Amino acid sequence: MVEETPPVVGTAPAVSEAPGRRDGSATLIHIATHARDEAPAGRPKETALELRNVSCWYGSFRAVKNVNLTIAKREVTALIGPSGCGKSTLLRTFNRMNDLVPSFRAEGEVLFEGKNIYDRDVDPVEIRRRIGMVFQKPNPFPKSIYENVAFGPRVNGYRGNLDELVEDCLRKAALWDEVKDKLHQSGLALSGGQQQRLCIARAIAVQPEVILMDEPASALDPRSTLQIEELMAELKREYTIIVVTHNMQQAARASDTTIFMTMDEDRAGYVVEQGDTIEIFTNPKNRLTEDYVSGRFG
Ligand code: ADP
């Protein structure tokens, strides 16, 4: 059998060719990423998802236009940009979560394992199992801690040992030690940071490949925020993570790749630049990116 070479993840071309400052001198962000597992030099990254000419519409309003990009497997990719530029819309396009908005329409292709998830024969429920989501505000079910994690696998007909699965997911979400003695208490009785880690445990319980996170720490205190960032660094060993954040320190600390979006006069969002996080924050190619990461705009 011939082994296929995984596709190489490329960097999306800058939309505008405005020259950026090359010395990184305007950059205020301190890059202190968690232990980065870089692919050894020369080893191509594998692609988790690919967007081809994707535009997103709410009725007659185009919220996102002509996005082409690739998301690398088992990395943290951060989506940054000013409020309203379409970050959440684009994030929700990765698992068809926008289908739940009646006026929403997507154009283009979102390829997952080479298959367009918007094809008619694709089941969006299965896509959302494989590409899970964690929301801005922690939203545990009004059930016990145990049931929050066990619910999805049970619905999906999980046949293994549920107790072991619940423990494993809570451990992976760095929550086990804090809750192991109160598994049958309500998930809603936990602190905000613990609730968000419970939601992460719930997301991984159905064995997804990708986890989408929409500002997962913006409602949390600084300590819980750091815990979530550390958790992302752990989880990327197994999962592909795409995170929307308005916190640039967080993007700099927690992500491997950063995508900067902004919007045009018509308020349609577009991707300006995608690259290694360190490059985006210290040596961006595009003036718009530089202005944003240095705090001059946005
Ligand atoms: P961001 O995450 O960058 O703040 P959003 O994706 O939330 O941006 O929004 C992008 C644009 O789409 C905004 O102009 C917003 O008002 C609009 N929008 C978002 N959700 C909806 C919706 N459900 N219906 C109509 N317009 C929406």
- Nearest-atom number in ligand 1 for the CA of 214 is 2
Mean pLDDT of 174-193: 97
Which of 231, 230, 240 shows the shortest CA–CA distance to 208? 240
pLDDT, residue 127, reads: 97
Q: Residue 267: is its pLDDT beyond 80?
A: yes
3-state secondary structure of 289: helix
| Whole-number pLDDT of residue 197 | 97
For residues 89 and 63, the answer to whether their CB atoms sit within 8 Å is yes
81 band by pLDDT with thresholds 50, 70 and 90:
very high
CB 26 within 8 A of CB 292: no
What's the pLDDT band for 13 if we cut at 50, 70, 90? very low
Across the beta sheet with 47-58, what order do the strands follow?
115-116, 104-112, 47-58, 61-72, 269-276, 257-263, 76-80, 240-244, 210-214, 131-134
Residue 167 CA to ligand 1 center (angstroms) comes to: 37
47-293: in CATH 3.40.605.10: no
Q: What is the pTM of this model?
A: 0.88
Nearest to 152 by CA among 130, 183, 122, 179: 130
d(C-alpha 225, C-alpha 269), whole Å = 27
- Is the beta carbon of 245 within 6 A of some atom in ligand 1? no
Say if CB 264 and CB 8 are below 8 A apart.
Answer: no
- Asked if the model's pLDDT at residue 65 lies above 70, the reply is yes
Instruction: Say how far apart CA 159 and CA 208 lie, in whole Å.
Output: 17
The domain limits of the chain are: 47-293
pLDDT band at 296 (very low <50, low <70, confident <90, very high): confident
- Quote the ligand 1 centre to 197 CA distance (angstroms): 26
Q: How far is the CA of 62 from the centre of ligand 1 (A)?
A: 10
Per-residue pLDDT tens for 204-240?
A: 999 999 999 999 999 999 999 999 999 999 999 999 9
Pocket probe mutation, ligand 1, options 56, 58, 264, max atoms within 8 Å of Cβ: 58
Residue 59 CA, closest ligand 1 atom number: 25
